[in-house]
Amino acid sequence: MSARNTPALNDASKAIQWHNNKLRLLDQRLLPQQEVYLDYDDADLVATAIRNMVVRGAPAIGITAAYGVVLAAAARFKQSEENWRETIEQDMEVLAQSRPTAVNLFWALERMEKCIQALQAGDPIEALLAEAIAIHAEDIAANHTMGELGAALMEEQGIGVLTHCNAGALATGGYGTALGVIRSAHRLGKVAQVYADETRPWLQGARLTAWELLQDDIPVTLLADGAAAHLMKLDKVQWVVVGSDRIAANGDVANKIGTYSAAINARHHGVKFMVVAPTSTIDMSIASGEQIPIEQRPTEEVLCLNDQRVAAMGAEGWNPSFDVTPAALVDAIVTEKGVVLAPNREKMLALMEKS
């Protein structure tokens, strides 16, 4: 296999790396207590890592799957130089089955599939690795562009923003979507204080967002998800800034469970609501958010904390991992191709038709 490694990606977080012909992932389940990297040379294990949230966040899942395809191709080509294109389809299917909501996963797999189709005979690894690295690098570039575009929407200096889940460097190729905007706006003096929902049940906000922002010396205050409406009533935040796992053709937005509540609360209190996502998160094949598959995760995530049961024995759990915020509650969708204010079908179409 090629000796090429992921280039220096000019970002503090190296959550996803190609290193010595293996995929290296920062195990996000252990943060912030431990920074442990796991190496993968098997596509099935990469799919399991996605399912078990070693790596999570829509763009990060897509990038990881792309590197998973490189590993699969290396193994299949070694088995058979003639048949690898047929046998790799099983690996692509296993990767596709890992998590259902983030469309970036399917987008990245389709892009790798097109690359496979376009290959001539011979060792495919160099070309596939170049494509995976391109997906990774393009995501970082998109995040920097979105950072500037989103920060430009904030007109005042020194404001407070609320974010939900983790849409930062850990959830992407680097820099982040929602946290990319927050990073850029903080650098410009526009954002003075970040409030982060702890994001029950997996606590992405408490464990990951707080960890990331503190590394950049951005002040962050954690709150229980249920405290967000009270925070808004006290006029502490002027914007809610979140990422997305899938945006439908009409501008409906799927994101971490609790985002919909945040959007309703924001509208009620006159707080602006911004969604930051690359166009790889936009799924023009589905008309509305009703068609977005919502992942149901194990109920233990709700009933237990750190593997310790906290709920009364006998209580059942319900654990939808995402919800859908209707486009009508969204003030701005920020993508690398531009900003859509008050999104609707026509505006989303016009955005996607831009080169």
Q: Does 184 bind ligand MRU (CB under 6 A)?
A: no
218-247: which residues touch ligand MRU (CB under 6 A)? 243-245
Q: Which is nearer to ligand MRU, 122 or 320 (CB)?
A: 320
Min dist. Cβ of residue 271 to ligand MRU (A): 18
Among 13, 17, 64, 172, binds ligand MRU (CB under 6 A): 172
Among 105, 162, 165, 351, binds ligand MRU (CB under 6 A): 165
Number of residues binding to ligand MRU, judged by CB under 6 A: 17
Contact at 8 Å (CB) between 340 and 333? yes
Min dist. Cβ of residue 56 to ligand MRU (A): 3
Of 91, 139, 197, 245, the catalytic one is 245
Q: How far is Cα 177 from Cα 169, in angstroms, rounded to an integer?
A: 8
245 is catalytic: yes
Stretch that binds ligand MRU, among 106-114, 171-179, 216-224, 325-333 (CB under 6 A): 171-179
* Cβ density class 133-157: b for 16+ within 10 Å, e for less: bebbbbbbebbbbbbebbbebbeee
Tell me the one-letter amino acid at 317.
Answer: G
Q: Which string of x and - marks every residue 32-71 that binds ligand MRU (by CB under 6 A)?
A: ------------------------xxxx------------
Min dist. Cβ of residue 329 to ligand MRU (A): 16
**Region of residue 313 (phi > 0: left; psi between -120 and 50: alpha; otherwise: beta):** beta
Min dist. Cβ of residue 197 to ligand MRU (A): 11
Shortest CA distance to 254 belongs to which of 207, 301, 299, 291? 291
275 forms beta bridges with: 242, 333
Q: Which is nearer to ligand MRU, 124 or 258 (CB)?
A: 258
Distance of CA 95 to the CA centre of its chain: 16
SS3 330: coil
Tokens of 204: 């992405």
* Cβ density class 267-295: b for 16+ within 10 Å, e for less: bebebbbbbbbbbbbbbbebeebeebebb
Active site residues: 245
| Chain residues in the site for ligand MRU (CB under 6 A) | 56-59, 102, 165, 167, 171-172, 177, 204, 243-245, 255-256, 321
